[in-house]
Amino acid sequence: MKVESLVTKEKREIEARSDSEKTIDPANLEMFEIARKAGVETAFDRVVKQEPKCPYCFSGLSCRNCAMGPCRITAKADRGVCGATGDVMVARGLLRNILGGAASHVDHARHVALTLLHAARGEAPYQIKDEAKLRNLGTMLGIPNAESMEVNKLAEQVAMRALEEIGATHANGGTWIKMHSTQERLETWSKLGVLPEGGMLPILEGMHRTSMGNDADPVNLILGCIKAGLADGFYGLHMSTDLQDVLFGTPKPKFSEAGMGVLEADYVNIACHGHVPILSEKIVEAAEALQEEAKKAGAKGINVVGICCTGNEILERQGIPQVGNELNSELVIATGALDAMVVDYQCIFPALVPAAQCFHTKIITTAPIVKIPGAEHIEFDEKRADEVAKEIVRRAIENYKQRDPSKVHIPKFKTELLAGFSVEALLEVLSKINSEDPLAPLVESIANGDIKGAVAIVGCNNPRVPHDLMHVELAKELVKRDILVLATGCAAHAHAKAGLMKPEGYKLAGERLQRVLKALGEAAGLEALPPVLHFGSCVDNSRINQLLKALAEKLGVAIKDLPVAASAPEYNTEKALSIGTWAVALGVTTHVNPLPRITGSEVVTNLLTKDAEQLIGAKFIHSPDPKESADMIEEVILEKRRKLGLPA
């Protein structure tokens, strides 16, 4: 379809959507009217005001990388002022997006590594919660005596290695990528020349090569995208998960609840929003310690709830209930029951502040790189973590007294969920069936077709797409076809709210998958395992690679040959693009929606949706429709099964 037609079609669809077509979350539906009456404008309103979209930006055919522009490709101009073609603009724009995503995750990992370093040196009030994981990491990193060294000494060395590998400037492929990759992948990346030196250099190099007068070869630029995606996957996602598990514990399955109904009318409600557990874990602790102060202020206690990925982090380790994902974040404020929203970084809408100004809610920013005019800023310093967390919780308690009960409206909707599926936890469940060889039951079910394949549904919300609809309908379609779903990020919130993460949800699966879920669930002392397994936050997509690597090595095949796929069906962030590129680089075909800004270049579109398969064993696919997406994904899985000689 021509770009102009795509733009017009999207304009028509977005402008025509009634409230009930904007979201499938019943709490959001209930809150729309209340928010409007209170004067709160949300992303659902603003997305309409952005229509129609600029067709040049929509298709990637624009560039503002220097002051000779901005430039765009039109009927009379087939090059920018410097001579950059449309293919170059599209490839360069995509790479810059991926660099933004990779930078966010690598900086997240750097923050966790620094916290581990300060903790190990006794300078910050954190303890090592998973010593076994630390020792294992130390051994994989080749640190001598990692098995017996004093725990804090080892933590210091692991943290230093992490920081060195993030900043590496010349070594080709550090240890972090090697310890989490199969030999086959390392060789493929090496041959393509995309093995990242470390976390930061591919980002630095990527910014350099995309500035005016540098890389003008779209193919070479796409290789830069893969390199940046790999830097993200191993020096962002994997490193963050590894070190967070060491500091805060490796998740284990636990029950909790999701939906706006987790807010409590008589409690001080504090929502933790953002991405890292470094602050939110401390907020949970401080809230526990200050319950009595809340009671003195007239509340029954303190209720901490989670939003987005920091929510997922404290859910998977502490069982903290989830009030919503990204497109719930403004409407949660309109309940009038939120006393503070504490944010760290990433996915924090600046519009939270004007929304909060219509109520008594305090938006508390904490990161030196994330300040919003009108928010209260209490700078977080991990060396003073307990003190700062208490100060924030006390601010919420004080603010409870400002709450206007006549403005409180909490939707009743909430649903039970089971979260905390790390690979270690999954293996523990599987070991109840086969203690000698825990992966065997999983491999057997995949081989005989009881589990036809597995799909990771991940990523964000996007008001260009009806909220949660693609996440939920795609998952339902897949599990019905005996395809197991693993979820992270805002996708996981959507699945939880839709009941796909509670044990009874297994009834939504196909008959054969139901049998497996029941057998595994019973082994774990439950009615069944849910058909969608909560694998954590966005950085925890690393856990999915950990599982793929283990399966590939067990079966003696490459990851690209496994009957698996991934989908980011409502993505919005640059981080989702870099994670998706990493997934394709791993050999996992990845479905994305909405369309990335690449349609202006046939060269780039063909590379990513066709030729990538030859180069790397996987490609991007796109469909805006859940049923059609499931058909495409199932076909990818069936094709892999045919190649492996497995029954369909």
Return residues touching ligand SF4 (CB under 6 A): 63-66, 68-71, 80-82, 84, 212, 308-309, 325-326, 346-347, 459-460, 489-490, 538, 573, 575-576
Q: Which is nearer to ligand SF4, 201 or 308 (CB)?
A: 308
> Between the CA of residue 238 and those of 104, 105, 199, 437, 542, what are the distances in Å?
13, 10, 11, 25, 5
Provide, rounded to whole angstroms, the least separation between the CB of residue 93 and ligand SF4.
10
Question: What does the buried/exposed string (b/e) look like for 92-128 if buried means 16 or more CB atoms within 10 Å of the residue's CB?
Answer: bbbbbbbbbbbbbbbbbbbbbbbbbbbbbeeebbbeb
Provide, rounded to whole angstroms, the least separation between the CB of residue 539 and ligand SF4.
9
Q: Which is nearer to ligand SF4, 345 or 400 (CB)?
A: 345
CB atoms closer than 10 angstroms to residue 616 = 19
Provide, rounded to whole angstroms, the least separation between the CB of residue 421 and ligand SF4.
17
What is the signed CA dihedral for 163, 164, 166, 167, rounded to 10 degrees? 120
> Between the CA of residue 416 and those of 195, 409, 498, 638, what are the distances in Å?
42, 21, 10, 33
> For residue 131, what are its two tokens?
């010593």
> For residue 3, what are its two tokens?
């770009």
| Beta carbons within 8 Å of 515's beta carbon, 6+ residues apart | 450
568 phi and psi angles, rounded to 5 deg = -120, 80
> Could you tell me where the DSSP H helices lie in 378-466?
385-400, 423-431, 439-448
Identity of the residue numbered 318: Q
Task: Characterize the bridge pairing of strands 532-534 and 483-487.
Answer: parallel
Closest CA to 257 of 502, 465, 478, 40: 502
620 phi and psi angles, rounded to 5 deg = -95, 145
Closest CA to 47 of 411, 467, 456: 467
Provide, rounded to whole angstroms, the least separation between the CB of residue 212 and ligand SF4.
4
> Could you tell me where the DSSP H helices lie in 362-438?
385-400, 423-431
426 phi and psi angles, rounded to 5 deg = -65, -40
Q: Which is nearer to ligand SF4, 199 or 536 (CB)?
A: 536
Q: Which is nearer to ligand SF4, 104 or 157 (CB)?
A: 104
Provide, rounded to whole angstroms, the least separation between the CB of residue 574 and ligand SF4.
9
Q: Which is nearer to ligand SF4, 490 or 533 (CB)?
A: 490
Provide, rounded to whole angstroms, the least separation between the CB of residue 108 and ligand SF4.
11
Q: Which is nearer to ligand SF4, 445 or 629 (CB)?
A: 629
Provide, rounded to whole angstroms, the least separation between the CB of residue 21 and ligand SF4.
21
Q: Which is nearer to ligand SF4, 328 or 589 (CB)?
A: 328
> Could you tell me where the DSSP H helices lie in 26-79?
26-38, 43-49, 55-59
Residue 452 CA, chain-centre distance (Å), reads 25
Q: Which is nearer to ligand SF4, 63 or 451 (CB)?
A: 63
Q: Which is nearer to ligand SF4, 63 or 137 (CB)?
A: 63
> For residue 438, what are its two tokens?
């825990």
Provide, rounded to whole angstroms, the least separation between the CB of residue 228 and ligand SF4.
16
Q: Which is nearer to ligand SF4, 115 or 488 (CB)?
A: 488
Provide, rounded to whole angstroms, the least separation between the CB of residue 278 and ligand SF4.
16
Provide, rounded to whole angstroms, the least separation between the CB of residue 590 and ligand SF4.
15
Q: Which is nearer to ligand SF4, 86 or 336 (CB)?
A: 86
Provide, rounded to whole angstroms, the least separation between the CB of residue 599 and ligand SF4.
18
Closest CA to 616 of 589, 578, 598, 595: 589
Helix or strand or coil: residue 305?
A: strand
Provide, rounded to whole angstroms, the least separation between the CB of residue 279 and ligand SF4.
15
Q: Please, which residues bridge with residue 621 across strands?
A: 591
Provide, rounded to whole angstroms, the least separation between the CB of residue 81 and ligand SF4.
4
63 phi and psi angles, rounded to 5 deg = -150, 135
Degrees, nearest 5: CA angle 157-312-427 = 70
DSSP 8-state symbol, 212 = T
Provide, rounded to whole angstroms, the least separation between the CB of residue 463 and ligand SF4.
12
Residue 185 CA, chain-centre distance (Å), reads 23
Helix or strand or coil: residue 422?
A: coil
> For residue 455, what are its two tokens?
């799909």
| Alpha carbons within 13 A on the beta-carbon side of 1 | 11
Q: Which is nearer to ligand SF4, 84 or 353 (CB)?
A: 84
Q: Which is nearer to ligand SF4, 198 or 324 (CB)?
A: 324
25 phi and psi angles, rounded to 5 deg = -85, 115
Q: Which is nearer to ligand SF4, 311 or 617 (CB)?
A: 311
Provide, rounded to whole angstroms, the least separation between the CB of residue 275 and ligand SF4.
7
260 phi and psi angles, rounded to 5 deg = -65, -20
DSSP per-residue string spanning 516-537:
HHHHHHHHTTSS---SEEE--S
Task: Characterize the bridge pairing of strands 254-258 and 415-419.
Answer: antiparallel
Q: Which is nearer to ligand SF4, 117 or 460 (CB)?
A: 460
Q: How many residues does the chain have?
A: 648
Provide, rounded to whole angstroms, the least separation between the CB of residue 362 and ligand SF4.
21
Q: Which is nearer to ligand SF4, 215 or 382 (CB)?
A: 215
Provide, rounded to whole angstroms, the least separation between the CB of residue 213 and ligand SF4.
7
Classify the C-alpha dihedral 253-255-261-265 as positive or negative: negative
